[in-house]
Chain A
C-alpha cells in the first residue's frame, strides 16, 4: 500500500496543479502575476525543448534562439503582412523551425569530428546569421514589428489570459513530450549517444537519425513557443528576440536543474525566473542577473550534473542498504559434449584491404569462419588485428574486398546496421555508458540489437544475461562502481544481449589476474555453447592456445598462418615472426 501511495500521490498532486493553473486566469488576478506565471511556462518550455537534444544527447547547442526567433518572426510576418489568423501561424512556425533544424542537422551530423564545443559555436554562428538576415530583409527591416493590432482568439476573459493559457498549454505539451521521449526508444538512444556515440552506433542505435529527430523536435517546440511569445511581447525586434540571453539562459536553466532528466530544465527554469522576478519587484533588476550568474558558477562547480541528479544521489545514499561486497562466482553452463562446429561458414572475408592515408593496415585478408567456432586472431603489434575487427564491425569502412555474414554482404553497411544483423563486439578498454546502470546498459543493447519487444521482455532478457555473466545483484550499480573484471563482463553481457551470431572480442583478458582469466575462459566457452561464433583477438598466448579451435596469425596486414593452435604456434615461420629467425632454428 505504501508503494502505491508514493507513486500515486505525485500524480494526483500534478493533476490538481494542472487543473488549478489552467483556470487561473478566471480568477482575475492582476496582470502582473499572470505575466509572471506565463513567463515561467515560457522558460520551462524553451529550456525543456533545448534539453531534448542538448541535455539528452549531449550536443550543446548555443543557438536555440535561432529556432525561437524563426518562430517569432514567422508569426509576426504572417499575421501582420498576410493577415493569417494567429493560431494558424503557430504550427507553421513550429514546422519552419523544425525544417531549419533538420537542414542544419543533415549537414552537420554527418561530420564525425564536429562535436562538443564546435557544434556549440556553429549553432551560435547560425543564430547571428539568421538574425542579420531577418534584420535586413523586409521580414523585419530594422523597425520591428507591431503586433498589437493582431486579433487574438477569445479563449479567456482577457488578452493576457489568452496568452497565458496558450503558454500553459505549450508548457504541458512540452513536458509531456519530454517525459515521453525520455522513456521511449528514441530517448534511450539519445542517452547512449550522450555517453559514447561510437559505442551506441556499434550497438545498433541509428545515431544520425535520432539526432536529427531530437534536433527537429526541439526546434519545433521552440518555434511554437516563439510564435506565442510574439503576441505576448507586442512589439517584436531583432535585438530583443535574438538577444544572447535566450540562447544562454536555456543552457543555464537546464544545467542547473539537471539536463538529462525530463523535469530538470523545468526546475531550473522555475527557480531562475522566480529569482529574476523577485529582484524586479524589489527594484534591483540587474542584481538578479548577477545572482543568476553566481548561482550558475556554484552549480557547475559543486553540482555538475544539476540539481535533480544531486537530489537523487542524496536520496539513494540515505536509503541504500550497506553494500554487499560479494564477488559473484561465474556459474557457466557446462555443455555435456563438445558442441558441433558446423560446416557452414558464418563469416566470409575475401580480399579485404584497409588503408589509412598512406598506411596499409590490411593488405588482402581471406578467411572463412564456420558457425560455432572459437577463432583466435594473433599477431605482433601493428599486424592489423584490431583493424580487422573494426572493419568487420563497421567502425572502419573497408577500402576494398567483401565481408559476408550468413550469406549477406555487410562490407559497406553502417555500424548500426551490422549490429542489427547480428555482429557484436567488446572493447579492450571497456566502454560502458557511464550514466546508465548495469541493467540499463544491457537493456539498451537488447533493445537495439534485437527485435522489437515490450519493456518487460527486454528487462527479463537483460537480467538473464546479467546473471549469465555473473553480475547478478549489481544491476543497479553505475559502471564506475564496478571493478575491471566486472566491467569486462559487462561488456560481454552487453554484447550477448543482442543475441549475436558473431561475437568479436578485443583483448578481453588484458588486465585480469589468473583467477579472473580462468573465469573468462569458462565464460567464453559457455557463450559458444549458446550458439554464437567467436573471433577473439588476444595477446595472452597460453589462453589463445587453450581456447581456440583454430588460430590465425596476422602479420603486416596479411594472413600469415592458419590452423590448429599448437601446430601454428610451433610453425618455424610463426616462431620467427615473434622471436626472430635464429631462435626458430
Chain B
C-alpha cells in the first residue's frame, strides 16, 4: 500500500474541515474522491501533500510516517501536487516553472530527460517554453502544472480539482492525461467535483460529504447508490 490515511482530522484554526477520514492508494491505482463544493476535498489533498498539518490520525507513505515530515520534504518522498487553480509561478517562464518541479537533487539529475518527456506529452508547451506562465490559457496552464508535477519523477501525483475552470473539451483531454500519468508509473489520487469524469477514470472511488467519507467502492457500484445524489443535490 503506497499511501495510507487513517482517521485523519484536519482543520484551519479551530474549524475542523475533515473528520475521521481513512483512505488507501496502492501503487499503479487511480483513486478518485468526489464530493460537492465545501465537502473538504481541497483540505484533504493539501493534507496529503504536506501543506496542512493533520490534527489527529495517521498518514503513511510507503510505510514511512509522514506526520512529522516538513512540507518541503514531501516532494523528496515522491509526492507531487497539482494544486487547485494551478498555482503556477506566473511571473516566471513555462520552462522555469517546469524546472522548479525538479528542484530537488534526485530529480534534477534527470532534468533533461524529464523535460523531453513533458514536452512529448504536451507539445504545445515546447513552443511556449519561454513565455510567462501567466500569459497562457487555462488549459495550457493546467498542462504546465501537471508537467511540473511530472518533473519531480513522483511515485504518486495528487490532483486537486483538475477540471476546475476548464472548457469541457479540454476537460476530456485532462482526464486522458491522467490515465497516461498512471501508464508512466505513478499512482494517482484525485479529488473532483465532476462526478462522471472522476468515476470514469478511477479504479476505486470515495464519496466525501461535509468532511466525512460516506461511501466507497467501485465506480459502477457508487453510481447505483443514492449517496452521490443526496450529497450533490440534497434530494
Contact = CB atoms under 8 A, between A and B. Distances in A.
Nearest to B197: A580
A513 B231 CA distance: 15
B36 A541 contact: yes
Interface string B15-35: 111000000000000000000
A566 interface: yes
Given A380-B37, A511-B15, A579 B232 contact: yes
A545 interface: yes
Contact of B235 (A483, A545, A583): A545
A569 B36 contact: no
A381 interface: yes
Q: Please classify how large the interface on chain A is, using the bins under 10, 10 to 19, 20 to 34, 35 or more.
A: 20 to 34
Nearest to B84: A381
A434 interface: no
B195 interface: yes
Given A380-B37, A381-B164, A580-B197, A541 B17 contact: no
Contacts of A578: 36, 195, 232-233
B127 interface: no
Contacts of B82: none
Contacts of A579: 195-196, 228-229, 232-233
A382 interface: yes
A134 to B, nearest CB: 41
Contact of B38 (A507, A569, A580): A507
A295 to B, nearest CB: 34
A511 B17 contact: yes
Contacts of A510: 38
B196 A382 contact: no
A578 B228 CA distance: 11
Contacts of B164: 381-382
A574 B38 CA distance: 19
A570 interface: yes
A484 interface: yes
Contacts of A540: 38, 210, 234
B14 interface: yes
B33 to A, nearest CB: 16
Interface of A: 380-382, 483-484, 507, 510-511, 513-514, 539-546, 565-566, 569-570, 574-575, 578-580, 582-583
25 contacts: A380-B193, A381-B37, A381-B165, A381-B193, A484-B13, A484-B14, A484-B15, A507-B38, A511-B17, A513-B16, A539-B37, A541-B233, A541-B235, A542-B234, A545-B234, A546-B234, A566-B235, A569-B235, A579-B232, A580-B194, A580-B195, A580-B196, A580-B197, A583-B196, A583-B223
In the A-B complex, list the 6 residue pairs whose CB atoms are closest, starting with the nearest. Answer: A541-B234, A580-B196, A539-B38, A545-B234, A539-B37, A484-B15
Given A539-B39, A541-B36, A582-B196, 15 more contacts: A382-B164, A510-B38, A514-B210, A539-B36, A539-B38, A540-B38, A540-B234, A541-B230, A542-B230, A542-B234, A544-B234, A578-B195, A579-B229, A583-B195, A583-B223
